[in-house]
Structure 1
Amino acid sequence: MKNTDSLSNVAEFSVSEISIALKRTVEDIFGHVRVRGEISGYRGPHASGHCYFSLKDERSRLEAVIWKGVFSRLKFLPQEGLEVIATGKLTTYPGSSKYQIVIESIEPAGAGALMALLEERKRKLGAEGLFAEERKRPLPFMPRTIGVVTSPTGAVIRDIIHRIADRFPVHVLVWPVRVQGETAGAEVSRAIAGFNTFDPGGPLPRPDLLIVARGGGSLEDLWGFNDEAVVRAVAASQIPIISAVGHETDWTLIDLAADRRAPTPTGAAEMAVPVKAELEAGLARLSARLKGAISRDLDRRSQGLRAVARALPSPDQLFALPRRRFDEAAGRIVRALHASAQRKRLKHEGLRLSIGSLERRLVEARRRAAQCGARLPVVFSGLLRNKRVRLERDGGRITPRVTSERIALNRQKLDAATGRLDRVVRQRLDGARGRLDQTERLARTLSYQGVLERGFALVRDASDRPVKRAAELSAGQEVHIQFYDEIAGAVIAGKPVAGPRKDTGAKDPGKQGSLF
């Protein structure tokens, strides 16, 4: 039998006392811990805003909870099956005799988890058609205003502005954002949406093109540009967007949603604007081609006109047949008139002229003369009126103001031509003066006078020919020595010593040799 007296000496605890003691023990011993495990049983936030799930590995399982206030500040949201590293406090839940971790921060467990999350997000957004090629729009050829979403303090914005200024200076608007950290994605999405709200006629013009740029970095550094809000903002933008995030080997989800991806921020600036000098050269080439085409077309038309003119008959050939017909008709008319006159003469020979008929003809002639006289002032007034209208119209065209304007325009053209002539003359004079100075310096450099100025002398014989070798001299021969300032005569004292003379150092002051 068991000894009941020994059992009666064991202290008794209530269930609550045991639970509280265990809770204090766990919290005091462990405190803050970092736990690596796979999320299991995650169903999103509860109606209260808290999240309840489990962290597990291949052998064990740990209950976890994220309170509502902490959940709203998380950079990475929990996802079912994602391996994470959770930081928090271990505690117990007396209501069910379980221990759990109260998570204060959570992050993916390494790049592998980030890549898995990135691929999952890529598949999700791609299924919605946000990365479809048919959605991408062409970039404007020559934008007037370019909006840049980037950090205002980095080298990226300086490189973009400098490159745009070199190629084709345009108006650049910068929307400063953080390009790294928890708030980077939200700031970038707000900047893109903000540029789209600009009024084209407002104080800040609406950009024709947007550049979202950031320098290179790790996957974690660029994670803000993989944010779902950023991708949706890019897809919803009415303004074409160039993505220039990271280096050429880096890629983010914003690269897939943007209308064009640039390998570097400098490359984005080169995509945004053309080279102004190349456009001017191309325009000049097209203008020259247009002038040549017009000239060739005029020549071709002139040649065609001359060919058509050669194919046409001459005026004599054209009027030969009508002229013959006219001559024949004229001959027939003359004969017909003679015949008609003969018939009328025979008809009226028997008629007598009477005074009454003559008076009637005279009255009729007076009546017609009176009618013509009445109409003459009206006709004359109309002619004068027409003449006056044409005179006033021609006088209105020739006015002192028009004449002055033409004189002023011709004077401006003359002044411009005179200015260009003066500039051309000055440029040619400056060029000729520069070439003359250069030739003069070259002549002074090549002249032997410079050599004489440095202490050398030129020896000439009696015929004034330069002596180049000592073997050409003989004893008693007269020579002329040309120094820098004047010429001196001399006589060769003896035969020159063969070979070069060596300097033996100090000279004897009492015995000084002479070459002559």
Structure 2
Amino acid sequence: MAKRPTKPADEPASDDPPLPIGAPPQSNVPELSVSELANALKRTVEDRFGHVRVRGEITNYRGPHSSGHVYFSLKDQNARLDAVIWKTTFFRLRVKPQEGLEVVATGKITTFPGKSSYQIVIDTLEPAGAGALMALLDERRKRLAAEGLFDAERKRPLPFLPAVVGVVTSPTGAVIRDILHRLLDRFPRRVLVWPVRVQGESCAAEVTAAIEGFNALPPGGPIPRPDVLIVARGGGSLEDLWGFNEEIVVRAAAASAIPLVSAIGHETDTTLIDFVSDLRAPTPTGAAEKCVPVRAELIEQTAVLARRLSGAERRLLDAHRRHLVSLQRVLPAGPQLLMHPFQRSDRAGERLRAALRRALDARRLRLSHLTHVLARHSPQAELARASERLKGLHARLRQGLSARMALARREADGAQRRVDHAEQRLRSAYFRIIADRQARLDRLDQLRRMLGYESVLARGFALVRDEQGTVLRLARDVTPGMAMAIQFADSAVRARAEGDAPPEPPAPPRPKRGKDKTGGGQGTLF
């Protein structure tokens, strides 16, 4: 067993009790729970780092969670950092996270005690350099082009002379002044300006609202609906023009029912709204030039066309006059032209008068014939003839009725004779059937009297019944004191049995089972 070490002589004595052998040495470090330690680490990390900017590639991005929050990771060649974007922050982000996109995230470093890990809570997110922005822009352009938003068939022509021009731009920049000045120089038109921010986080939302707002104006309302829209902005970097690359702006421009002209940046600048607009202008001034024609040129062109029209009218009249003169030389004089029509008219008049006379004679002849017929068929003659016919029909009717009544009387007499004869036959048949039935009934009654018990009673026999009327056939059915009714030939009397019950009749003898003495199988008859 090991020995305890001895204290040095110069070490002061201690009042603590000696430690048992094998016990761990005591420590002054306080004990902490897991939660306390996790919270302490959380405060230390947050106090040490605070807000940071981290550059890395987005990985494990699956879109917003059902709660609206976004979870993913930032990685580089050697490490990975968990990241979270809260729901309210995610809606405000100008650049949305995408898988594989290299970004610069600004946020607050904190820990997550539930997993014993640290993470960054992102406040802002921006692509890491122009290369990342171009890659994002190219991917978005291909995706929208695949949907058909950039097809040439969707492009619409601009109105030749719009009455109202809608402009979506900043009201304080030089763009709106250039557009108004150019419209005033070429052809003054009414201009409606929808003020928006042309860069920054709210740029895309404001431009989208402006396009949709112009399209929502009713035609003929208090605020006139524009005939063409201009979305304009001056030049700038790719980051400054990024609001016009947002998907919501592109889809709003594609859905616009009003023809739209995009004038974003300078001629070398290209945004996604340029692909979906009906016309792309290199500059805002160029957009104004494409929307309206030059008024002085239209006036001059109208004057030239008016002069050409008047000259063409003069030349046409001269040609028609020369042609008429040449026709006059070829055609005969007027009286000669009208000679044959006059002659045809005279002959037609003569034929018409002759036809009228013939028609009039035919009508007169028909009228006289009708008059003769009418005289023969005057109402008085027709009435007299109708009266004669009526009298004849009346006489015929009376004669027919008399003959019919005589025939009916003869038929009634014959029917009565037949009925009397049938009645006589029926009476004789009835009496004959009654006599036959009576004779048969007499024969049956005689047979009944011959076969009935009354004839037996008349020969000196009697019929005995009990109180219930049951016939008593055997003496053993009678018991002493039993009431009975005895039926004789003339009447019945009541009686009561006396004495003892009659003895039981002897049982018939049983055949012997032994063999008969004759030895035969059949007994003797004696």
What code does the residue aligned with 1:99 have? Answer: Y
Structure 1 residues 215 and 309: alpha-carbon distance in aligned structure 2, compared to 1, 3 A threshold: same
Q: In the alignment, which of 165, 174, 191 is matched to residue 210 of structure 2?
A: 191
Unaligned runs of 5+ in 1: 326-516
Structure 1 residues 4 and 241: alpha-carbon distance in aligned structure 2, compared to 1, 3 A threshold: farther
2:66 corresponds to: 47
1:192-251 deviation digits (Å, cap 9, x = unpaired): 111112222222211111111111111111111112111111111111111111111111
Q: Secondary structure of the equivalent of 2:232? A: strand
Q: In the alignment, which of 107, 110, 113 is matched to residue 91 of structure 1?
A: 110
TM-fit CA distance, 1:69:
2.6
1:339-371 deviation digits (Å, cap 9, x = unpaired): xxxxxxxxxxxxxxxxxxxxxxxxxxxxxxxxx
Structure 1 residues 251 and 4: alpha-carbon distance in aligned structure 2, compared to 1, 3 A threshold: farther
2:82 corresponds to: 63
Q: Secondary structure of the equivalent of 1:107? A: strand
Query: Percent identical across equivalent pairs?
Result: 67
1:350 corresponds to: none
Structure 1 residues 90 and 289: alpha-carbon distance in aligned structure 2, compared to 1, 3 A threshold: same
What code does the residue aligned with 1:42 have? Answer: Y
1:90-138 deviation digits (Å, cap 9, x = unpaired): 2222222212112222111111111111112112221221111111110
Query: What are the equivalent positions in structure 2 for 1:14-413 lying under 5 Å apart?
Result: 14-313=33-332
Q: 1:42 and 1:224 mapped to 2: Cα distance?
A: 23
Structure 1 residues 294 and 104: alpha-carbon distance in aligned structure 2, compared to 1, 3 A threshold: same
TM-fit CA distance, 1:174:
1.0
Q: 1:297 and 1:124 mapped to 2: Cα distance?
A: 61
TM-fit CA distance, 1:19:
3.0
Q: 1:164 and 1:23 mapped to 2: Cα distance?
A: 62
Q: Specify the structure having the higher radius of gyration (Cα).
A: 2
Greater alpha carbon shift after TM alignment, 235-244 vs 15-24: 15-24
Q: 2:119 and 2:76 mapped to 1: Cα distance?
A: 15
What code does the residue aligned with 1:20 have? Answer: N
Structure 1 residues 48 and 314: alpha-carbon distance in aligned structure 2, compared to 1, 3 A threshold: closer
**TM-score normalised by length of structure 1:** 0.59
What code does the residue aligned with 1:61 have? Answer: R
Q: Secondary structure of the equivalent of 2:55? A: strand
For these two proteins, the number of residue pairs brought into alignment is 323
What code does the residue aligned with 1:140 have? Answer: P
1:10-46 deviation digits (Å, cap 9, x = unpaired): 8465444443343333223222221110011111121
TM-fit CA distance, 1:317:
8.9
What code does the residue aligned with 1:49 have? Answer: G
Q: 1:83 and 1:281 mapped to 2: Cα distance?
A: 59
Q: 1:139 and 1:179 mapped to 2: Cα distance?
A: 24
TM-fit CA distance, 1:148:
0.9
TM-fit CA distance, 1:161:
0.8
Q: 1:28 and 1:20 mapped to 2: Cα distance?
A: 12
Q: 2:339 and 2:185 mapped to 1: Cα distance?
A: 76
Q: Secondary structure of the equivalent of 2:82? A: strand
What code does the residue aligned with 1:278 have? Answer: E
Q: 2:313 and 2:139 mapped to 1: Cα distance?
A: 62
Q: 1:320 and 1:154 mapped to 2: Cα distance?
A: 88
Q: 1:277 and 1:185 mapped to 2: Cα distance?
A: 38
TM-fit CA distance, 1:261:
0.7
Q: 1:186 and 1:314 mapped to 2: Cα distance?
A: 86
Q: 2:51 and 2:308 mapped to 1: Cα distance?
A: 79
The two structures, once aligned, show a CA RMSD in angstroms of 2.7
TM-fit CA distance, 1:78:
0.9
Greater alpha carbon shift after TM alignment, 109-118 vs 134-143: 109-118
Unaligned runs of 5+ in 2: 3-20, 344-526
1:370 corresponds to: none
Q: 2:203 and 2:156 mapped to 1: Cα distance?
A: 26
Structure 1 residues 273 and 319: alpha-carbon distance in aligned structure 2, compared to 1, 3 A threshold: closer
Q: 1:62 and 1:319 mapped to 2: Cα distance?
A: 112
Q: 1:276 and 1:181 mapped to 2: Cα distance?
A: 38
TM-fit CA distance, 1:320:
12
Q: Secondary structure of the equivalent of 1:25? A: helix
Q: Secondary structure of the equivalent of 1:72? A: helix
Q: 1:72 and 1:320 mapped to 2: Cα distance?
A: 98
**TM-score normalised by length of structure 2:** 0.58
Q: 1:79 and 1:175 mapped to 2: Cα distance?
A: 32
Q: Secondary structure of the equivalent of 1:194? A: helix
Q: 1:200 and 1:317 mapped to 2: Cα distance?
A: 67
Structure 1 residues 24 and 319: alpha-carbon distance in aligned structure 2, compared to 1, 3 A threshold: closer
Structure 1 residues 314 and 42: alpha-carbon distance in aligned structure 2, compared to 1, 3 A threshold: same
TM-fit CA distance, 1:190:
0.9
Structure 1 residues 52 and 228: alpha-carbon distance in aligned structure 2, compared to 1, 3 A threshold: same
Q: Secondary structure of the equivalent of 2:213? A: helix
1:362-391 deviation digits (Å, cap 9, x = unpaired): xxxxxxxxxxxxxxxxxxxxxxxxxxxxxx
